[in-house]
Structure 1
Amino acid sequence: MEIRLLRVDSRLLHGQVATNWAKVLKVGRIIVVSDQVARDNIRKTLIKQASPPGIKVHVIPLMKMLRIYFDPRFNSFKALILVEDPADACFLIENGIQVDQINIGALSFESSRKMVTDSISVNQKDIAALQWIHDQGIKLDIRKVYGDSSKDLWKILREKGLVETTKQ
């Protein structure tokens, strides 16, 4: 399977992903990977209804994503993978999914989180997962849509004092 983009976005599939990223990346599949959403028939239905014309959308749990990623029957897939949080991205990478960078779309604010940009807030669990991902040499790219200029989430986290400044 060719993963054209691994995106972390608490909103999962929405207009920007459906209309911009999927079109620019020329994917044939959008795969929403979430144990919680895979068990929630209402959310699954809503996500599938947001799919752009001509692109298949699947909602699957984490372990199923790993099974299909390593299954040669799916080698021809060109996919956009969406996860809700950095921990799920970390899990996929720890278990062998290969990516050079992760796009961070939005991480919704709540009282236990600190705002780091206008659309990204993090808690300690997110920071730990992002730290591990960064330590693997994977770039943490912030862009809402493809045409936006890329920003480095790791640099922003360092500037905000949320991670050690000695690590690059």
Structure 2
Amino acid sequence: MAQIVLTRIDNRLIHGQIVTEWCSYVQADVVLVANDAVAGDSLRQSLMKMAAPASILTRYYTLAQTIQALKTSTSDQRVMLLCETPQDVYTLVKGGLPIHTVNVGNMHMAKGKHRIATTVAIDENDQAVFRKLKECGVEFEIRRTPQCAIEKSDALG
């Protein structure tokens, strides 16, 4: 089975920090974007493919495809799993994927959200989902890059 080496919430998904810092830090072979909307959006996929080096495979799957692919994989690939929202991660956990730690990298500020860390803003729904993930045994770290200190927030459960 493929090994999930990092699960990250980052609403930018694939971008410079991911490919230049996180991929080498966790030694990922594959960056898998798990999000229903992105899986059907060839424009967003094309933009993200431009940011990724040729040495890294990129995949864009729906949440259901992600669960199926990772549960049935016979490869020994090291997968970095990127999700846009905590709701995406919760769906993957409830679908049986072995996700024990989630790196929360970036969640943009928007109407109805409040900042809980330098690059993370959440609303009540996000906070409720983080609590559900915590009840499933998932731990969280807020960290932009591997070199950054981990930020603390009681808001994540």
- TM-score, with length taken from structure 2: 0.93
Structure 1 match to 2:97: 97
1:152 Cα offset (Å):
3.6
Identical amino acids, percent of aligned pairs: 23
1:115 Cα offset (Å):
1.3
- TM-score, with length taken from structure 1: 0.88
1:150 Cα offset (Å):
1.9
- Are residue 84 (structure 1) and residue 53 (structure 2) matched? no
Which has the larger Rg?
A: 1
Alignment of 1:9-88 (within 5 A): 9-73=10-74, 75-88=75-88
The answer to whether the 8 Å contact 2:117/2:151 transfers is no
Structure 2 match to 1:166: none
Deviating beyond 4 angstroms after TM superposition, the runs of 4 or more aligned structure 1 residues are: none
Q: Number of aligned residue pairs: give it.
A: 156
Q: Distance in 1 between matches of 2:17 and 2:73?
A: 30
SS in 1 for 2:82: strand
The answer to whether the 8 Å contact 1:66/1:92 transfers is yes
AA of the residue aligned to 2:41: D
Q: Distance in 2 between matches of 1:93 and 1:143?
A: 21
1:72 Cα offset (Å):
3.6
Q: Distance in 1 between matches of 2:138 and 2:97?
A: 12
Structure 1 match to 2:143: 143
Q: Distance in 2 between matches of 1:143 and 1:118?
A: 9
Gap change, CA 1:52 and 1:152, over 3 Å in 2: farther
RMSD of aligned C-alpha atoms? 1.4
Segments of structure 2 that go 5 or more residues without pairing to the other structure are none
The answer to whether the 8 Å contact 1:102/1:138 transfers is yes
SS in 1 for 2:67: helix
Structure 2 match to 1:119: 119
The answer to whether the 8 Å contact 1:48/1:58 transfers is no
